[in-house]
Structure formats: structure tokens, C-alpha cells
Amino acid sequence: MLLEPIDTRPITLANHLIKFLSHFHPVAYALLRADLTVSQVSGNFGAVLSDFLNSPVVENRYLPDLVWEFVGQEEAITLLLQGKLPMLTLELVNRPGKNGSLNYLNFYLTAILGEQELDNCLLLLVEDVTATARIEQQLLQERNELRLIFGHLNQAHEKMEQLNRQKSLLLTFATHELRTPLTVIDGYGQMLLRELESVVTAPQRQLLENLNQQINHLHLLLDALLDIDKLEQGRIDLSLSLEVLTDLVRDVVQSLQPVAQRNEILLTASIPAGPIMIMGDALRLRQLFYNLIWNAFKYTGREGEVQVRLHRQENRARFQVTDTGRGIPPEQLERIFQLHYRVTETSQEGISGSGIGLYLVKNWVEAHHGRMEVESVHGQGSTFSVWLPIQNYS
């Protein structure tokens, strides 16, 4: 079989190349003379360069007149013709299209070395890369916008941290300033109660006790404000030591017995005789037991019953407070541990509170690697349980 000789003329090769490249982008070509005038162009040359050309006639025109970006490239073109430079590339040359948005072309100029015809000694390939260039531009713009947003977010974050620090400082200062006069008032209140004990009537004594109770409440509130601030900053300072949990609970129950009696609440406790040991912060544990029992009183009212139970279950202790109070509607049960959340009807009925206690209690329990549970029947009462890991000392 006789094979046809391969046509190696530049024009034929350029045509093949264009067919292949056109699968990716629209591509056109031109053959140029050494003086940079156009000798031949592909059929689609005018279409690909439509935004660049001021006249459809391109043959015999000088390349820098068609695309001004070639002005000043004479030195590079001489090197091309001498075979010292493989290719001259101009990338992302752009012109506004008819709809106003930019169209992008890449130009590749190369010498056809060994070419006898002087008419065809340079090949100019033109690649329309508008589609990818626009995507790249878009990505670049979006990346810049993201960088800007990121910068704004960083600034906002820094500002927030700064405000937070100022808030903490102000809070510490304010609570300190408030505590000083409060301690003095507290002292006078205690003194009045002691000194006038024998001369005051029962109702007057009750008034003095109420006064002292409110002062105590204010102290606790100031502590709670500082605790919340610490929690918001992710800090819970626990001072851990080996504690006798049974004694702690017994103490708290005893200290609250007079309050129960005054409010005609029957407070009972079931605490094992043998010690249950725990690695914990005595102050925080006392506060959390105190809070739960106090809440039981507050939401139970006169002639109610509050039962405290402590027992051991394998390597955990379970502290429970059950009351016969108003209970909590089931749909609000999940939310009572959130900061500042109060069950709608309790706030509506004017029972004082701030929605801080249970939030702190839950956080303290979790800081002790414990868990909290609540069961409640609306209108009948509630049981709050605290599970705490215990220390096996035997």
C-alpha cells in the first residue's frame, strides 16, 4: 500500500492544531511575515478577535496595529526569528465586549524555523479564554471579598473580646464596691437582731430576720454575677479536696431547717449514716445543694413538703430534692437550665427570681463530672437529681 506523503506545510499544521485546540477554547491563527504583516488568517480569525479589530480587513496589516500590546516587542520578535526564543506569549489581553463585560484572549507568537517562504515565517495563535478568565476573575473577586469579610469578622471578634474584658472589669469593680457597704449593713443587721432580741415583739423580730435574709440574698446574687462572668469566659475555678458528701448535705439541710419552719414547709432528709466521699469543691457543692432546696421551698409554698435524699449507687452518689410544689409544664422542662430562663407562669405570678440558679448549678455539677436530671408533674411537684462520681477510699 502506498501512503500519501504527509503535508507538513505550516498552514496545514496550524489547521490541525486549531481543530484540536478548539475542543477546549475557540482558537484562531494567522501566519505573518518577518516584518509582522499578516499574510494569511484562519476563517474564524475575525470572529475570535471581533472585539479587537476596528476593520474586518486584516491581511497585510501590521500586527501591533491590530493588537497594540505587541508594540515594543520588536526585540523579542528578533530573538524568535533567530531561534533564540521559543515563544512570545501575551496572556489575558482584554477588551470590553458588546455587553460591556471583558473578553479575554491569549496570544502565542512563534517562529516557523526552516520555512522557505518568507511570507509564512511567524505563526500567531489566538486563544479565546474568556470563559475561564471570567471564572478566575470571579474567584479572585470572591476571594478578596472573603478576605475582607474575614478581616471585618476578626475586627468584630477583637472588639467583642475587648468589650467583654471591660464588662468583666466593670462587673468586678461594681460588685466589689457594692459588697463593702453591704457587709457593713449586714453587720448592723446581725447586731440589731442580737441586741434587740429580748425587747422586740415577734412581728418585729420577723422583720429583722427578713432584712438579714434579703442582705444574704444580695450577697449570693453578687457571687452569682461573678460566677456567670467566669463561666462565660470558660473559667470555672474549682478548689478540689476530699470531702464527706454526707456531712455536706446534712449541714445544708440543717441550715435550711429554720427557713422551712418559718414557711411551714415540712423538710425531711434521708442521708446514709456511713460517709460518702467525693473529690469536690465544698463551697460549690454546698451552693448547689442549697440552691436546689431553696428552689423547692420557693416553688412549693406554705404547707408543702420537701424531701432530700442522698444515696450511693455503685461508684456514684445521687442527691435528690423532691417537692410537692407547682411543678413545671413539660414543654418548658428542657429550658429551665438556660441562663435567665424562667417558667412563664412563675414570672407571671410575681415569684421573684432571676433564672440564674439552675444555670450555675448545672455548670458546677458538670465541672464535677456529674449529671443533672429533672422530673416534674405540672401542678404536683418536681424532683431534681444530681449524680456525682464518688471517691472509693477503702
Is 45 or 359 the residue whose CB approaches ligand ADP more closely?
A: 359
Q: Indicate which single residue of 14, 325, 363, 387 sits in contact with ligand ADP (rule: CB under 6 A).
A: 325
Is 10 or 357 the residue whose CB approaches ligand ADP more closely?
A: 357
Q: Indicate which single residue of 163, 354, 373, 377 sits in contact with ligand ADP (rule: CB under 6 A).
A: 354
Contact between 129 and ligand ADP per CB under 6 A = no
**Could you tell me the smallest distance in angstroms from the CB atom of residue 263 to ligand ADP?**
14
**Could you tell me the smallest distance in angstroms from the CB atom of residue 291 to ligand ADP?**
6
Contact between 320 and ligand ADP per CB under 6 A = no
- Listed in sequence order, the residues at least 6 apart from 170 whose beta carbon sits closer than 8 Å to its beta carbon are none
* Site track 251-290 with ligand ADP (rule: CB under 6 A), x = hit: ----------------------------------------
Chain position whose Cβ is nearest to ligand ADP: 353
Contact between 387 and ligand ADP per CB under 6 A = no
Is 327 or 370 the residue whose CB approaches ligand ADP more closely?
A: 327
Residue 50's alpha-carbon distances to 2, 45, 111, 166, 202, in angstroms, are 44, 8, 25, 63, 104
Q: Indicate which single residue of 127, 357, 362, 370 sits in contact with ligand ADP (rule: CB under 6 A).
A: 357
Is 42 or 382 the residue whose CB approaches ligand ADP more closely?
A: 382
SS3 of the chain: the string is: CCCCCCCCCHHHHHHHHHHHHCCCCCEEEEEECCCCEEEEECCCHHHHCCCCCCCCCCCCCEHHHHCHHHCCCHHHHHHHHCCCCCCEEEEEEEEECCCCCEEEEEEEEEECCCCCCHHHCEEEEEEECHHHHHHHHHHHHHHHHHHHHHHHHHHHHHHHHHHHHHHHHHHHHHHHHHHHHHHHHHHHHHHHHHHCCCCCCHHHHHHHHHHHHHHHHHHHHHHHHHHHHHHHCCCCCCCCEEEEHHHHHHHHHHHHHHHHHHCCCEEEEECCCCCCEEEECHHHHHHHHHHHHHHHHHCCCCCCEEEEEEEEECCEEEEEEEECCCCCCHHHHHHHHCCCCCCHHHHHCCCCCCCCHHHHHHHHHHHCCCEEEEEEECCCEEEEEEEEECCCCC
Q: Stretches 7-15, 147-155, 278-286, 292-300: which one binds ligand ADP (CB under 6 A)?
A: 292-300
Q: Stretches 121-129, 167-175, 254-262, 322-330: which one binds ligand ADP (CB under 6 A)?
A: 322-330
Give the residues across from 94 on adjacent strands: 104
Is 28 or 343 the residue whose CB approaches ligand ADP more closely?
A: 343
122-128 β-sheet, strand order: 38-41, 27-32, 122-128, 102-111, 88-96
Contact between 342 and ligand ADP per CB under 6 A = yes
d(CA 119, CA 172) in angstroms, rounded, equals 88
Q: Indicate which single residue of 343, 372, 386, 388 sits in contact with ligand ADP (rule: CB under 6 A).
A: 343
Q: Stretches 96-104, 175-183, 245-253, 350-358: which one binds ligand ADP (CB under 6 A)?
A: 350-358
Q: Stretches 44-52, 94-102, 281-289, 295-303: which one binds ligand ADP (CB under 6 A)?
A: 295-303
Contact between 103 and ligand ADP per CB under 6 A = no
Is 42 or 376 the residue whose CB approaches ligand ADP more closely?
A: 376
Give the CA angle between residues 19, 24, 28 to the nearest 5°.
50
Contact between 362 and ligand ADP per CB under 6 A = no
Give the Cβ contact number of residue 340 at 10 Å.
10
Contact between 323 and ligand ADP per CB under 6 A = yes
How many residues bind ligand ADP (CB under 6 A)? The answer is: 21
Contact between 304 and ligand ADP per CB under 6 A = no
**Could you tell me the smallest distance in angstroms from the CB atom of residue 265 to ligand ADP?**
12
Contact between 358 and ligand ADP per CB under 6 A = yes
Q: Stretches 24-32, 94-102, 168-176, 357-365: which one binds ligand ADP (CB under 6 A)?
A: 357-365
Interface residue list for ligand ADP (CB under 6 A): 295-296, 299, 323, 325-328, 336, 341-343, 346, 353-359, 382
